[in-house]
Amino acid sequence: MSALPAHVAAQGAGVYSVDAHYLRPGLAASHVIVEDGAAAFVDTGTNYSVPFLLSAIEALGLEPEQVEYVLLTHIHLDHAGGAGLLMRSLPNARCVVHPRGSRHMADPSKLMAGTRAVYGEKRTERLYGEILPIDESRLMVPDDGTEITLGSRRLELFYTEGHARHHYCVHDPESRGVFTGDSFGVSYRALDTAAGPFVFPSTTPVHFDPEPAHAAIEAILSRGPEHVYLTHYSRVDDLERLANDLHECIDGFVSIAEAHRAADNRLERIRSGVFEFLAERIEAHGFEADRETIGTHIDADVELNAQGLDVWLSSR
């Protein structure tokens, strides 16, 4: 195998991260697991990510026929939007998707309609393109705790709610890791300091629920991992500290939302509160920058997280 291209990074134990080039570099990753000449993708990014994923397989000395699984931790489009297009290049792969998400991968029309309703026609096309369906015969719907094998490697798929009801994580004992989708939050490498990674939860619409979000973190830790592989963004260690930070942030976000429950401009107040909460934690973490610079890293997440908290308040 020759030197890897810039968008592919070896994480050890047959795990590789692939920058999905969603919005900006270092924001969203797919991961490739390789064992005994077989491969699996974990999350796919969008349609526009697919060329980067296929070039990663080529750089790893593999053929598309050697990919056996496309594992979708959940069906949000930054994680699963490219699955239909990718599957068309992987003749032997099965797409593994939570039972609450499988029908949307077979028929993405409602998924696309909902996305267009939020973003509009032009922005949806720019971000995601047209989501392609996956034939039902190529979909695998796991039970909670299902185990699959990749060559001689065992992978456990276990359900985690809190971020989305159609979410599962992938425990990979061989790498001593868990592929967590969004269930162990978001950690951008640009915010790393001497104190290590900075992490915060993803409370996007429409399924955020704090109690199962807390439980998901503990379910991940119960597997005893040394690393977790986040879609946003890739491998982090020091998991006990990060888990404590996530629990604190979930409680902090909930407190902010509750404090503005009756406000006329509730969403704006939640948005402002979440930004200040995170900015103060980022500064305390040792990241030296003004608030405008901090905003370039977290503004999009703050907006979506505030919307999720607002929807959560309305659902109670």
Q: What is the pLDDT of residues 1-28, one digit of tens each?
A: 568 999 999 999 999 999 999 999 999 9
Residue 173 has pLDDT above 90, yes or no: yes
pLDDT category at 117 given cuts 50, 70, 90 is confident
Mean pLDDT score, 223-229:
98
- Could you read off the pLDDT of 47-59 as tens digits, one per residue? 999 999 999 999 9
- Could you read off the pLDDT of 238-257 as tens digits, one per residue? 999 999 999 999 999 999 99
pLDDT of residue 127: 92
pLDDT of residue 111: 87
CB burial class (10 A; 0-12, 13-18, 19+) of residue 252?
middle
pLDDT of residue 1: 59
pLDDT category at 308 given cuts 50, 70, 90 is very high
What contacts 117, CB < 8 A, 6 or more positions away? none
Residue 118 has pLDDT above 80, yes or no: no
Sheet holding 234-236, edge to edge: 146-150, 153-159, 168-172, 177-181, 227-230, 234-236
Mean pLDDT estimate for the chain: 96
> How many angstroms separate the CA atoms of 62 and 83, rounded?
19
- Contact between 35 and 26 under an 8 Å Cβ cutoff? The reply is no
The domain limits of the chain are 1-97+100-140
pLDDT of residue 197: 98
> How many angstroms separate the CA atoms of 114 and 76, rounded?
11
Residue 215 has pLDDT above 90, yes or no: yes
pLDDT of residue 275: 98
Residue 267 has pLDDT above 90, yes or no: yes
Residue 219 has pLDDT above 90, yes or no: yes
pLDDT exceeding 90 applies to what percent of the chain?
94
Residue 222 has pLDDT above 70, yes or no: yes
pLDDT of residue 120: 85
Mean pLDDT score, 185-200:
98
Closest CA to 253 of 311, 175, 180, 198: 311
What contacts 129, CB < 8 A, 6 or more positions away? 46, 47, 48, 81, 85
CATH architecture type of domain 1-97+100-140:
4-Layer Sandwich (3.60)
> How many angstroms separate the CA atoms of 45 and 53, rounded?
9
CB burial class (10 A; 0-12, 13-18, 19+) of residue 58?
exposed
pLDDT of residue 2: 66
